[in-house]
Structure 1
């Protein structure tokens, strides 16, 4: 039973990262007029049906529902995976996974249209929670979780994600908007890759 549960946990963590990447790719591929840019556009723009404009960016995502579903399932899958881990020393992991999951839910239900409303505030809070919670979770998985056998790369990925978040805020606050989409992904992609790696390591445990 423990082996089955551990494998299920690893599968869920891999699925969390894969769901986000898949939803992003599908939604971005459907955005063709003008083409979506991974280096310029925010990830959240993919969840805005539009047409709308904010932060100097035009938003029109024909498959916005795919991205928003991805946000939701990504958070839930990560939380499910951590909850299924063996009980020893897992509470810090569950706490960070819950923060990540709450962020994913907020992202899904409050699309980032850029409007100065409560919905926009919730979306920003969700993004911050998902990025911080996710990167800290990856670090913890590499330090105290069952993925610690391959822990050093996880710690590196989590730290890179947190540094990327700082870079993203710096670019955002500068108002220049240069490669801001790439800066945001520097904060998000490490945690996604970390979840996938942690899941694979956990699935291979005996």
Structure 2
């Protein structure tokens, strides 16, 4: 008896490969945000004299060993290296996650990679140059400030672009729409943060800063989880 063996079409093999490739991309994007939030919490919990405030202190204060006073705030972070590790891993994982995404070619992929590179570089610079005010005292380039703007502004624009391209990137429609709104809110909050920080009053500056940063983190988690879920369903259906 001759046994008939059904050949696997090349299109099916290609689709399975793409689905499998999207899962690490989604995992990297979600992990970038989750690691940032976790390490921020760990560093904040170790700061007890006086207790770190999510509404009063800058996020960057957690990456300053101290003790010292800068920008009108007392900084002393016992686990400064934990927060700086979080900045570094955030930047690297965002770039890796976007680089692994498929579904886009040409200039649109170039735009995504460019934004991811900006965010990635911002995260690395934040880790290497703590926001201790040394640049202002010495009159040198404030690399930490440049890194923060690259990560915050670039991050909010990145999730808007990811949300707008949700069909091609296999992100769910609802998460995609939510990401666009999150990014827009984050950009508006960035302007508010710059105004509050520039005033020197430090009134809820930590809260306003997080209104600019956390939309990026929520957007990345939404994108990553959606990509992984849809990729798993696509793989299971093949």
Q: Same fold (TM over 0.5)?
A: yes
Structure 1 Cα separation of the partners of residues 200 and 147 of structure 2 = 22
CA distance in 2: counterparts of 1:4 and 1:29, whole angstroms: 38
- Shift of the alpha carbon at 1:176? 1.6
State the Cα distance separating 1:154 from its structure 2 match: 0.4
Match of 1:198 in 2: 223
- Is 1:141 aligned with 2:162? yes
Q: Which residue of 2 aligns with 1:103?
A: 122
Q: Deviations over 1:100-134 (max 9, x none)?
A: 00000100000000121477600000000000111
Contact 1:13/1:82 (CA < 8 Å) preserved in 2? Answer: yes
Counterpart of 1:90 in 2: which secondary structure?
helix
User: Retained in 2: the 8 A contact 1:110–1:119?
Assistant: no
Runs of 4+ in 1 over 6 A off after TM superposition: none
Q: Which residue in 2 is equivalent to 1:29?
A: 45
Number of residue pairs matched by the alignment:
206
Contact 2:187 2:212 in 1 (8 A): yes
| Equivalent residue number for residue 63 of structure 2 | 47
Match of 2:198 in 1: 173
Deviates more, 1:57-66 or 1:116-125: 116-125
Q: Which runs of 5+ in 1 are unaligned?
A: none
How well do the aligned residues superpose, as a CA RMSD in angstroms? 1.3
Give the Cα–Cα distance (whole angstroms) in 1 for the partners of residues 213 and 172 of structure 2: 21
- Structure having the higher Rg: 2
Q: Decide whether the 8 Å contact of 1:111 with 1:120 is kept in 2.
A: no
What displacement does 1:175 show?
2.0
Which residue is equivalent to 1:128? Answer: 149
> Which one of 91, 101, 111 corresponds to residue 75 of structure 1?
91
Task: Indicate the SS of the match to 2:142.
Answer: helix
Q: Tell me the TM-score normalised to structure 1 length.
A: 0.96
Cα separation, 2, equivalents of 1:201 and 1:120? 40
1:86–1:118 CA distance, 2 compared to 1 (3 A): farther
- Match of residue 54 from structure 2: 38
